[in-house]
């Protein structure tokens, strides 16, 4: 549990749109988030033993993940140098049939396998599941080849999932990550969008493991301190954007393509080794009326506000993912330093 402030606690606001009550992905009605954090050992790397600095994060679209109730979904791959699972079927059918899990690069297959067990228990007689699992590479701090996330951790993350979970920083899948020369991890944010059908919420949850030292921008401004000297991380960022608005797969694909604009504003350039993936989903019920999804006129009228919401929420979630992460020492004594809060506060207090 991070005791560090969030961006808004420092008086810095991103964008124009109002946030939801918790300024988090769980503001989207029905969405729940759960984390399992694994921290154990220190000293030199012994593959299979540790040190362990990793975890798993679960995002549930709705209370019941039976196969009878799916979400609409789409992905955008800014940089495919990553192992994110489940995307071909998502592209084909436009549906998400499992919770979305996040973990480290080399855990993805075990996590997917455990998720299939969990789904199979809830859906007897079904012999096909498409788990969606994303990842970043925490090998700088963690014994990544040890694949320390096991079946029971996946279950715990799913079972702990709550609609008030707003933890950030070195937690869950973000435990061992770093970005922009600092320690980084999980961050989240949300926005409220008004449409002619009423008000909807869009939330973002990111795991940040990307960004070169010195590139970070906080609401457009660089920190006064010199560039951090930590070597750049192996990279990657997972950006999950969810909404209860009735967007269909094509519209969610459009939304997903805007999420990296938020990354850009935080300073990212999507470097070669950074696998940068966006998954966008809607958990709107399929029987919403007058029509399941926004029609052409509604799309033209309101979708730009959802685009704006996605850009803002992703930018703010990334900044939260860094601000909220304490310094961590991991395998072989590798250190990722938490961003110095005084420097951020100085920036917040400076005249603009």
Shortest spacing between CB 97 and its own copies, in angstroms: 10
**Alpha carbon distance 99, 37 (integer Å):** 18
> Of the candidates 46, 300, 335, 346, which one interacts with its own copies according to CB under 8 A?
300
Asked if 28 contacts 201 with a C-beta cutoff of 8 angstroms, the reply is: yes
Q: Annotated catalytic, 2?
A: no
Nearer to its own copies, 9 or 113 (CB): 113
State the catalytic residue, choosing from 236, 282, 321, 325.
236
Q: Annotated catalytic, 162?
A: no
> Of the candidates 217, 225, 329, 337, which one interacts with its own copies according to CB under 8 A?
217
> Of the candidates 73, 262, 330, 338, which one interacts with its own copies according to CB under 8 A?
262
Counting residues that bind its own copies (by CB under 8 A) gives 82
Q: According to CB under 8 A, which residues from 150 to 209 bind its own copies?
A: none
Shortest spacing between CB 187 and its own copies, in angstroms: 18
Q: According to CB under 8 A, which residues from 222 to 251 bind its own copies?
A: 222, 234, 248-250
Q: According to CB under 8 A, which residues from 44 to 73 bind its own copies?
A: 70
Q: According to CB under 8 A, which residues from 14 to 33 bind its own copies?
A: 16
The window from 26-34, 165-173, 211-219, 320-328 that contacts its own copies (CB under 8 A) reads 211-219
Would you tell me how many other CB atoms lie within 10 Å of the CB of residue 251?
22
Of 334, 260, 251, the C-alpha closest to 44 is 334
Q: Hunting for tokens 């040190």 — which residue is that?
A: 51
Shortest spacing between CB 167 and its own copies, in angstroms: 26
Work out whether 79 is an interface residue with its own copies (CB under 8 A): yes
Phi, psi of 343 (to 5 degrees): -65, -40
Measure the N-to-C terminal CA separation of the chain; round to a whole number of Å: 32
State the catalytic residue, choosing from 170, 189, 190, 274.
274
**Alpha carbon distance 55, 153 (integer Å):** 8
Q: Annotated catalytic, 189?
A: no
- CB-based contacts of 124: which residues, under 8 Å, 6+ apart? none
CA torsion angle 272 273 274 276 (round to 10): 70
| Strand-pair partners of 214 | none
Q: According to CB under 8 A, which residues from 80 to 119 bind its own copies?
A: 80-95, 105-106, 108-110, 112-113, 116
Shortest spacing between CB 7 and its own copies, in angstroms: 15
Q: What is the helix (H) or strand (E) element at residue 75, kind and residue range?
A: strand 71-79
Shortest spacing between CB 5 and its own copies, in angstroms: 21
State the catalytic residue, choosing from 138, 276, 282, 305.
276
CA torsion angle 213 214 215 220 (round to 10): 140
> Of the candidates 160, 264, 337, 343, which one interacts with its own copies according to CB under 8 A?
264
Q: Hunting for tokens 């790397």 — which residue is that?
A: 45
Q: Does residue 352 sit in helix, strand or coil?
A: coil
**Alpha carbon distance 182, 213 (integer Å):** 8
Work out whether 1 is an interface residue with its own copies (CB under 8 A): no
Work out whether 299 is an interface residue with its own copies (CB under 8 A): yes
Known catalytic residues are 236, 274, 276
């Amino acid at each position: 549990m991070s005791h560090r402030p969030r961006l808004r606690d420092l008086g810095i606001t991103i964008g124009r749109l109002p946030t939801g009550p918790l300024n988090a992905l769980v503001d989207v009605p029905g969405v729940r988030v759960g984390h399992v954090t694994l921290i154990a050992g220190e000293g030199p790397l012994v593959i299979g033993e540790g040190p362990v600095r990793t975890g798993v994060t679960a995002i549930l679209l709705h209370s019941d993940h039976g196969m009878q109730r799916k979400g609409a979904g789409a992905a955008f791959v800014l940089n495919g140098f990553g192992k994110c699972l489940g995307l071909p079927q998502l592209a084909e059918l436009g549906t998400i049939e499992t919770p979305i899990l996040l973990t480290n690069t080399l855990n993805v297959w075990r996590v997917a396998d455990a998720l299939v067990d969990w789904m199979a228990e809830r859906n007897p007689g079904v012999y096909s599941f498409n788990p969606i699992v994303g990842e970043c590479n925490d090998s700088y701090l963690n014994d990544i080849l040890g694949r320390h996330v096991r079946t029971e951790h996946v279950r715990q993350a799913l079972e702990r999932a709550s609609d008030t979970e707003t933890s950030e920083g070195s937690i869950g899948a973000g435990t061992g990550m770093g970005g922009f020369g600092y320690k980084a991890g999980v961050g989240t944010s949300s926005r409220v969008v008004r449409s002619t059908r009423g008000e909807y919420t869009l939330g973002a949850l990111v795991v940040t493991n990307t960004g070169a030292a010195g590139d970070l921008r906080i609401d457009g401004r660089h920190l006064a301190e010199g560039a951090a000297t930590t070597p750049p991380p192996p990279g990657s960022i997972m950006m999950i954007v969810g909404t209860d608005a009735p967007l269909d797969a094509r519209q969610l694909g459009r939304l997903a393509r805007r999420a990296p604009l938020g990354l850009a504003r935080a300073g990212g350039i999507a470097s070669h080794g950074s696998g940068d993936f966006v998954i966008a989903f809607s958990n709107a019920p399929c029987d919403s009326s007058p029509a399941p999804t926004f029609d052409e006129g509604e799309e033209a009228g309101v979708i730009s506000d959802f685009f704006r919401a996605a850009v803002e929420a992703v930018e703010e979630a990334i900044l939260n993912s860094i601000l909220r992460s304490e310094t961590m020492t991991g395998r072989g004594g590798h250190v990722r330093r938490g961003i110095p809060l005084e420097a951020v506060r100085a920036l917040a207090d400076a005249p603009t």
